[in-house]
């Protein structure tokens, strides 16, 4: 289900800063088609700068903001030990905002032009071994309900509801590994997005870009079981066509789905992998290990840049090197 993006500009900011930010967010929504998540991230980052300027008792108009002010803001973020990733994202948001302001003649010169983003930390993601995936997705493995659901399920009493929650949670785990979806993409799926004849999903990804993603027979089995026997136990009218439903009857939200997977991974007891993105990392690595073409994996994951997908080739090489050290007599 396509969600309508909304803006969240803080009213605590002065109009001199808040109004152009609101105009910029509207531009990103209407003309660039940015998602609600992207708009929220931009709003948070730009509001952080606006609040810093107000706290410094400067409260300048957009034209009065200088590169020195921006560097003072960055220095404050450094002192607060903000991570490199967050710092890079905030610098990018500010640079894009001022570039837009210059283009629309809201400022005469771009004060963010000379800001340099820190190099991002290149961390290899934790990847599950095939044996761990087998345990995670085994019919014998009980996948627990998310923290937001378990209490309500207990209150409702009947075994049918508990079985429905367990069946839904298996769909979450199977589909994340089968399709490599982002958790936000997973919870946005409608029943109508599934083509059982071709075993594919119609997915609305970042930037409202649509792609078609395949899934396998094990995922097909748990999806069919969920839809035929269990979904109706939980779903109410407000769920509409949602594939995944919470115990209160509405579409399952991202937090609940994330907690389902986090608890399931924690229950394995022998992996540092955590959260749903670990399954996305894992399926990408397993595809490349199995000989899949890099560009096919890029399309599968919905990456805008091939460079993002190439991270997983480093994971595969790292795994190969580790296996070589363990197995080769002259390693």
What does the domain layout of the chain look like in residue ranges?
Answer: 15-103, 130-327
CA dist 317 and 97 (Å) reads 38
Q: Could you tell me which residues come within 8 angstroms of residue 109 by beta carbon, excluding any fewer than 6 positions away?
A: 102
Q: Token digits for 163?
A: 């079985």
At 3-56, the pLDDT tens digits run 433 344 444 677 888 899 999 999 998 888 888 888 999 999 999 999 998 887
Q: Is 302 helix (H, G, I), strand (E, B) or coil?
A: coil
CA dist 41 and 35 (Å) reads 10
Is the confidence at residue 263, as pLDDT, over 80?
yes
At 165-181, the pLDDT tens digits run 999 999 999 999 988 89
Catalytic (active-site) positions: 182, 206, 277, 280, 303, 312
| pLDDT for the residue 295 | 81
pTM for the model: 0.60
Pairing of strands 200-204, 194-195: antiparallel
- Say which CATH class 15-103 falls into: mainly alpha
CA dist 50 and 60 (Å) reads 9
Neighbours of 149 (CB within 10 A): 23
Q: Is 186 helix (H, G, I), strand (E, B) or coil?
A: helix
At 48-90, the pLDDT tens digits run 999 998 887 777 889 999 999 999 999 999 888 888 888 889 9
Q: Is 165 helix (H, G, I), strand (E, B) or coil?
A: helix
| pLDDT for the residue 146 | 40
CA dist 188 and 28 (Å) reads 21
Is 291 or 327 the better-scoring residue by pLDDT?
291
Is 219 or 272 the better-scoring residue by pLDDT?
219
Residue 5 backbone phi and psi in degrees, to 5: -65, 145
CA dist 209 and 213 (Å) reads 13
Lowest-confidence segment of 72-86, 97-111, 242-256 by average pLDDT: 72-86
**Can you spell out the DSSP letters for 81-104?**
T--HHHHHHHHHHHHHHHHHHHHT
Q: What is the CATH number of domain 130-327?
A: 1.10.443.10
CA dist 298 and 306 (Å) reads 6
Angle, alpha carbons 103-108-110 (nearest 5°): 70
For residues 227-239, give the mean pLDDT.
91
For residues 248-264, give the mean pLDDT.
91
Q: Token digits for 183?
A: 């958790």
């Amino acid at each position: 289900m396509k969600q309508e993006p909304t803006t969240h500009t803080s009213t605590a900011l002065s109009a001199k800063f808040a109004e152009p930010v609101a105009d910029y967010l509207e531009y990103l929504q209407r003309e660039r088609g940015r998602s609600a998540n992207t708009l929220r991230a931009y709003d948070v980052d730009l509001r952080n700068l606006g609040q810093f300027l107000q706290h410094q008792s400067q409260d300048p108009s957009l034209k009065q903001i200088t590169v020195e002010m921006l560097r003072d803001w960055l220095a404050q973020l450094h002192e607060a030990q903000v991570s490199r990733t967050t710092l890079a994202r905030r610098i990018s948001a500010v640079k894009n905002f001022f570039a837009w302001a210059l283009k629309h003649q809201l400022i005469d010169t771009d004060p963010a032009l000379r800001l340099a983003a820190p190099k991002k930390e290149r961390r290899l993601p934790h990847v599950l071994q095939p044996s761990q995936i087998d345990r995670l997705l085994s019919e014998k493995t009980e996948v627990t309900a998310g923290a937001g659901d378990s209490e309500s399920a207990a209150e409702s009493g009947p075994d049918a509801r508990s079985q429905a929650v367990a069946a839904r949670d298996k769909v979450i785990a199977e589909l994340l590994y089968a399709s490599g979806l982002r958790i936000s993409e997973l919870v946005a799926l409608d029943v109508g997005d599934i083509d059982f004849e071709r075993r594919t999903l119609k997915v609305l990804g970042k930037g409202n870009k649509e792609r078609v993603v395949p899934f396998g027979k094990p995922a097909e089995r748990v999806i069919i079981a969920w839809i035929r026997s269990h979904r109706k136990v939980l779903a109410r009218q407000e769920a509409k066509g949602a594939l995944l439903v919470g115990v209160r009857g509405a579409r399952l939200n991202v937090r609940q789905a994330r907690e389902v997977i986090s608890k399931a991974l924690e229950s394995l007891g022998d992996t540092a992998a955590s959260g749903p993105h670990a399954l996305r990392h894992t399926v990408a690595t397993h595809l490349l290990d199995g000989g899949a073409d890099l560009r096919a994996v890029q399309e599968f994951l919905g990456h805008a840049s091939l460079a993002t997908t190439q991270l997983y080739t480093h994971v595969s090489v790292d795994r190969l090197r580790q296996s070589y050290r363990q197995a080769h007599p002259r390693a």
